[in-house]
């Protein structure tokens, strides 16, 4: 909580990017890109060197990083179905551990590869039972094979729509799709956002969460969240700009509001991608950010108010996913994290195996 405003981090994940987890030749370039780009996007004092970062991060470390080292109250742990890694990069097992050990703190998403066809639906059903009816499904627009990286689109009636229909029938509220930011040396084609349009039209009862929205294709994204009430932006990666590139962040947020105005702020949710990024600096920077006058004049947008920030940090996600935040906060008021944090926020990475290595 930050100044009495609850914080829901809509995407966290405990990576395993240790070389022993590479499934094929795509593992190393993916891991190295993630490592280098996250290092560059952290402010000094929060940068973990490659030899400490490229490892198997436990769910316990991720939970403590999020709940003890930042003002985050609740978090959404995603199963990552990235075939460049043997366990998908953030495993079903870690996600199960998160929801089993800390059911009041975590919401979880299943994750599958739609290009697997019926096997993807079967795997979704397995995860759905194991994870206790998760309300979300995480997807990537690539399918990693030994010798090639294939791609699919959200408006594909043969690949995508059967997964969406099945998930909707099982009670899933949101499909989160990784967009804008390729995970390695892969074609940008499938990371564009325009294919979300027909998915949103075909499935009005499903929400579509653009993960990394605002990092690229920002004008198209702004038009989407203005046109479709069931499309919203998750600020993972984009939020990192708030701390290290504040002027760029102003332009990104103003762009997202430039079509829908203040209404568009109701279609944006907070997400840091912890442990990939340390959650504290972007959260503090977001809470304190304001538009400069010239930015408001350039984009024709109003000031980003405290009420808008509160909506992004928790109100919007709670509305979309039908979460009773007050009830959740009551349940965690005396849990292990709340007790430990009475002494204040822990120093960066002090609760992890990488304590003392950050730069």
Give the model confidence (pLDDT) of 198-245 as tens digits. Answer: 999 999 999 999 999 999 999 999 999 999 999 999 999 999 999 999
Task: Name the token pair of 87.
Answer: 């366990």
Give 119-176 pLDDT, tens digit per residue: 999 999 999 999 999 999 999 999 999 889 999 999 999 999 999 999 999 999 999 9
Chain centroid to CA 302? 26
In the structure, what pLDDT confidence band is assigned to residue 351 with cuts at 50, 70 and 90? very high
Q: What percent of the chain has pLDDT over 70?
A: 100
CATH 3.20.20.140 is held by the domain 8-343: yes
Residue 71: alpha-carbon gap to chain centroid? 17
- Give the closest residue to 197 by CA, choosing from 233, 167, 166, 228: 228
C-alpha neighbours within 13 Å on the C-beta side of residue 239: 32
Tokens of 271: 């997400």
| Cα 100 to Cα 102: distance, rounded to the nearest angstrom | 6
| Distance from C-alpha of 195 to C-alpha of 141, rounded to nearest angstrom | 11
Judged against a pLDDT cut of 90, whether residue 6 lies above it is answered with yes
pLDDT of residue 343: 87
Classify each residue of 224-258 as buried b or exposed e, where b means 16 or more C-beta atoms within 10 Å of its C-beta. bbbebebbbbbbbbbbbbbbbeeeebbbbbbbbbb
pTM score above 0.95: yes
Q: Tokens for 253?
A: 């947020």
Whether the predicted pLDDT of 354 surpasses 90: yes
302-309: long-range contacts (C-beta < 8 A, 24 or more apart)? 302/261, 302/262, 304/253, 304/257, 304/265, 306/5, 308/262, 308/265, 309/5
Sign of CA dihedral 184, 188, 192, 198: negative
Cβ contact 38:103 at 8 Å: no
For 59-105, the pLDDT digits (tens) are 999 999 999 999 999 999 999 999 999 999 999 999 999 999 999 99
Q: Among residues 122, 208, 203, 120, which one has the least CA distance to residue 161?
A: 203
- Tell me, what's the pLDDT at 120? 98
Q: Round to whole Å and give the CA distance between 288 and 293.
A: 16
Percent pLDDT > 90 in the chain is 99
- 297: exposed, middle or buried (Cβ count in 10 Å: 0-12, 13-18, 19+): exposed
Calculate the average pLDDT of the chain.
97
Q: What was the pLDDT predicted at 235?
A: 98
């Amino acid at each position: 909580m930050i100044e009495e405003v609850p914080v829901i981090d809509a995407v966290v994940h405990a990576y395993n990017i240790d070389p022993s987890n590479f499934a094929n030749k795509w593992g190393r370039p993916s891991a190295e890109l993630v490592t280098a780009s996250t290092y560059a996007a952290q402010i000094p004092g929060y940068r973990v060197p490659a030899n400490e970062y490229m490892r198997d991060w436990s769910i316990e470390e991720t939970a403590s990083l999020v709940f003890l080292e930042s003002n985050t109250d609740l978090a959404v742990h995603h199963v990552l179905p990235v075939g460049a890694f043997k366990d998908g990069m953030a495993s079903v097992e870690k996600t199960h551990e998160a929801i089993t050990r800390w059911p009041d703190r975590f919401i979880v998403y299943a994750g599958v590869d739609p290009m697997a066809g019926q096997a993807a639906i079967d795997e979704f059903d397995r995860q759905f039972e194991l994870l206790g009816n998760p309300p979300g499904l995480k997807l990537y627009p690539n399918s990693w094979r030994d010798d090639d990286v294939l791609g699919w689109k959200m408006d594909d009636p043969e690949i995508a729509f059967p997964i969406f229909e099945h998930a909707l029938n099982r009670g899933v509220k949101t499909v989160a799709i990784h967009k804008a930011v390729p995970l390695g040396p892969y074609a940008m084609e499938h990371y564009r956002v325009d294919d979300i349009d027909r998915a949103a039209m075909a499935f009005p009862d499903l929400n579509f969460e653009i993960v990394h929205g605002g990092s690229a294709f920002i004008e198209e994204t702004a038009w989407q969240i203005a046109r479709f009430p069931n499309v919203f932006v998750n600020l993972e990666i984009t939020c990192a700009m708030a701390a290290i590139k504040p002027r760029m962040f102003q332009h990104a947020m103003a762009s997202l509001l430039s079509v829908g105005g203040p209404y568009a702020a109701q279609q944006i949710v907070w997400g840091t991608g912890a442990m990939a990024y340390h959650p504290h600096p972007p959260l503090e920077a977001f809470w304190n950010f304001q538009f400069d006058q010239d930015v408001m004049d350039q984009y024709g947008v109003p000031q980003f108010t405290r009420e808008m920030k509160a909506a992004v940090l928790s109100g919007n996600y709670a509305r979309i996913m039908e979460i009773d935040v007050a009830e959740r906060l009551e349940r965690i008021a005396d849990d292990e994290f709340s007790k430990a944090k009475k002494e204040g926020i822990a120093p960066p990475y002090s609760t992890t195996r990488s304590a003392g290595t950050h730069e």
